[in-house]
Structure formats: structure tokens, C-alpha cells
Amino acid sequence: MAAPGILRQMQTSETACGVVATWNYWEQWEERVSFFREVEKIECDSIALFLCRCRPPDVVVFPRCVEEVSALAKVCHKHRLPIIPFGTGTGLEGGVGAVKGGVCFSLRNMEQVLDLHPEDFDVTVEPGVTRKALNAYLRDTGLWFPVDPGADASLCGMAATSASGTNAVRYGTMRENVMNLEVVLADGSIVHTAGKGRRPRKTSAGYNLTNLFVGSEGTLGIITKTTLRLYGIPEAMVSAVCSFPSVQAAVDSTVQTLQAGVPIARIEFLDDVMIDACNRFSSLSYPVTPTLFLEFHGSEQSLQEQVKTAEDITQSNGGSDFQWARDTETRNRLWKARHDAWYAALALRPGCKAYSTDVCVPLSRLPQIIVETKEDLIENRLTGPIAGHVGDGNFHCLMVVDPNNPEEMHRVHLFTERLARRALAMDGTCTGEHGVGLGKRALLCEEMGPVGIQVMRSLKDTLDPNNLMNPGKILQREEP
């Protein structure tokens, strides 16, 4: 906990630096507008955030512009206070927990959409702008930003965690869609990762700083602007649901669809447990077997061809006829059900909390890892419906667990480690899109090996020598 004198200094900087509310966890100030309540609200569903709650920051600041972020970061730097960037708090690996106390930078008051260039397919946004807010803003331009992790996350937060989600198979992840970032570094200086205001569609100008900060989870700097690639809204979209006799049949269909060059926009796998939970939670009535949710984007004519190819492939693998969601309303209902999978899983065991695993393997290894994982779940009496972005080889077990049952918590912990190691043994990664945060630091060491970890650590030490930026995340390290 920061010393009271320093907390007072943060308060006195209120006018200059846009601190509209500060609070001390131990003193429980009346005017604590926010952070804790935000976390409490979200935390009710998530073990990761539940754990964060145990380590709130000492202070929350609400800067209104990059200059204020920079000024506040300089104060933190001077007093060696940890800095925890906060967007919407929708991350799943405990990224916003203040494991060493310190100052939480809530960026919600920086919510401008800046510099929209429709003719160049790019836009720049501040950290308070969420995915849905941007797409609402873009509605009349014929453009959209397709990366969709489900949650209505801050776009700068999505850059910080290298988010992706259901559309990544066609449009890529944040790595491929961030063109430039404005970042406040640990010492308060401001860097533009591709040069200030620049937005060429490609560049070879020196080291790729943009992709060094994308996915750095707040441990290298605070992202205060992100310039994003936009896409034309497809002339037509159509979604479908297809049931399969086995996991293998569903995954084989996925691989063959990609091999056939179908530019599919989403191809989501739900296992029998997951589709059952979604049926109950979202009042649907799909067969309780391995299922694919698919979506096709394109012109009316190209859709016909895409769909025909995909249908031929699924039927040759024993899939059911497609159940269509052609109009926007039905399609939205379908994808809402998919994105509500988290809540559907939770509803399987009222009063429990959830933790989502997040491994990613080469496509060809998917059937084996999913089958083995389902056997492991049954063997260990765990509730973990599976949903996945199978076009990328990425899937999640939504572990539903009673946090007051330490024995069950332990079983879940051992299961998630086995699952991650199974992915590592299949040339995969322990995290496809959620990041490392707190829980996967040891697994990251196994994944990268000692030299890779040493390189990452040296980058961290260089850009943040005092270990102030979101300390304790990604890398395990001693106090400086």
C-alpha cells in the first residue's frame, strides 16, 4: 500500500491531472465512484476477477487525456508506485488486479472516436471506446471493425491483451488489425509505435513497436490511442447451425472447409454439454450433440457458393442439414446465444463461478485434444462445457466451480494445467487469446523455454526498469 502522504499527493493533483475520484481501500471513502464497484459487478461471474478483488489498487485515477495520463505516470514513476491500466475490466486472466497495490488508471473518460478516414479504412480511438460503441459510430459509413471477443471490451484493452474471438478466422486478431498505438511509458513519456499520426497500411520502418505493445497486457505501457483497420460491411451475411455425430466429424468439417478456400467468417464449435447449456439458457432447441455455428460474409452470389461448399463438406462428414439464420434478428439471436455461453455455463450450477481455459493448437490436433479433454473432465467429475473458435484451433473449457470448495478448486487447477500441457505437447500454446495475466506465468515459461523468457524479461526490464507497469503480470519476477 502506498504511504498516505503519496495518496494525498495524488488527491492534490486532482485539478491538474483529472483525478475525479480517488479512494483508499482501507479507508472506504464515500466518493469511491467506481473501480471497486465495477470489479464487484463483473467479478460475480469470474474466478480470475474474484481473485483480483482481493488485491484492489490504493488509488483510482480517471485521466481525461494523454497529457493527464503522462503527468500521473510521472508522479507514479517518481514515487515508484505500480500502475494498473483499466479499460472495461472484461479480461479473463486477472489483468486488472493490483497485486502490489498502486494506482489504477481507469481510462473510461477518454472516450473519443478520433480521425475516422473512411476512404482509407482506418480510425483512431481512445481507450474508453468499446467495440460496440465504435461499430455504432461507424453505422452510416458502410464500415465496421470485425474483431469480436464477445464482451463489449475497450478497443485499447483489446489491443493490450491481443484479443480476437469469433471473427478472427477471417479478419485476424488485434495483432493484424492495429496499425498504430499511442502509449504512455513507465516514465511518463509518450510514444507513437508507428510514428505520430501515421497510418500506412504497411511499413518496414524499423522495429515493429506496435506489435510489441499489442498483447503486452499493460506491462510495458498504458495504451492511450489505437489506430485500427476497418472493413467494408459485407453485402450479405448468413449464419447457420449444423449438428454432428462426433467431435471428429465437426472438426474434420472445419479443416476441410478451410482447405476448400471458403472465406468463412466464423466457425464456432460447441460440444454437447455446451449446446445443452445454451439451449436451456437461451431458449433454443438444437440437438444435444457436437455442433458448429457458422457465418458467411460476402456478396449474395459468393454466399451461395460458400454455403454450397460448406454444406457439401458437412454432409459428407455426417452433419445435419443447416439450420438457417438469414435475417439480422435471428442471426443476432444465434450469436448472442454463442456469446452468452459464459452465462449459460454458469447457469448449469447456480451460485458457482467460472474460469475459462484458452488453449490453441494446430488444426489437425483439435479432435484429439478435445476428445482427451472431455475424457479428463468426466474422469475428474468437472463441469466444463467446451466452446471454441475452431477455425483457428482455439477452444475454451468454461469451468464452472464452487469457489468455496477447495478440493474442487484444486481439481480444476490440476485439470487446467493438464489441458495447457496437452496443448503444449501438440505444438500449441497455453493461451490463444486471453493472455497470460497472473495464472499462466509458469506455463508461459514452459511454452517459451528459458531463452525466450529471458528475452521477454530483458524487454520488460528495458522499458520498465522499476517494474511499475502492471507488475506481476505475464512474467514472474523478484522485486527490483
Q: Nearer Cβ to its own copies, position 168 or 337? A: 168
Evaluate whether 228 touches 125 at the Cβ level (below 8 Å).
yes
Q: Nearer Cβ to its own copies, position 405 or 476? A: 476
Provide, rounded to whole angstroms, the least separation between the CB of residue 355 and its own copies.
16
Q: Nearer Cβ to its own copies, position 190 or 345? A: 190
- CB burial of residue 478 (10 Å; 0-12, 13-18, 19+): exposed
Q: Nearer Cβ to its own copies, position 119 or 407? A: 119
Q: Which of 86, 127, 103 is nearest to 11 (CA)?
A: 103
Q: Nearer Cβ to its own copies, position 299 or 330? A: 299
Q: Nearer Cβ to its own copies, position 66 or 277? A: 66
Q: Nearer Cβ to its own copies, position 259 or 404? A: 259
Provide, rounded to whole angstroms, the least separation between the CB of residue 214 and its own copies.
7
The C-alpha cell that represents 449 in the structure block: 523455454
The helix-helix angle for 366-379 and 247-259 (nearest 10°) equals: 160
Provide, rounded to whole angstroms, the least separation between the CB of residue 19 and its own copies.
25
Residue 177 CA to residue 146 CA, distance in Å, equals 10
Q: Which of 212, 142, 143 is nearest to 181 (CA)?
A: 212
Residue 421 CA to residue 413 CA, distance in Å, equals 12
Provide, rounded to whole angstroms, the least separation between the CB of residue 360 and its own copies.
4
Q: Which of 478, 476, 434 is nearest to 219 (CA)?
A: 476
In angstroms, the first-to-last Cα distance of the chain is: 17
- 400 three-class SS: strand
Provide, rounded to whole angstroms, the least separation between the CB of residue 337 and its own copies.
24
The C-alpha cell that represents 173 in the structure block: 486478431
Q: Nearer Cβ to its own copies, position 362 or 480? A: 362
Q: Nearer Cβ to its own copies, position 112 or 304? A: 304
Residue 66 CA to residue 111 CA, distance in Å, equals 12
Residue 256 CA to residue 183 CA, distance in Å, equals 41
Q: Which of 385, 378, 236 is nearest to 301 (CA)?
A: 236
Provide, rounded to whole angstroms, the least separation between the CB of residue 113 and its own copies.
17
Residue 37 CA to residue 325 CA, distance in Å, equals 38
Residue 338 CA to residue 356 CA, distance in Å, equals 15
Up-side HSE of residue 181: CA atoms within 13 Å toward CB?
31
Provide, rounded to whole angstroms, the least separation between the CB of residue 434 and its own copies.
6
Provide, rounded to whole angstroms, the least separation between the CB of residue 383 and its own copies.
25
Provide, rounded to whole angstroms, the least separation between the CB of residue 221 and its own copies.
9
Provide, rounded to whole angstroms, the least separation between the CB of residue 48 and its own copies.
14
Evaluate whether 254 touches 269 at the Cβ level (below 8 Å).
yes
Amino acid letter for position 218: G
Q: Nearer Cβ to its own copies, position 136 or 205? A: 205
Evaluate whether 60 touches 23 at the Cβ level (below 8 Å).
yes
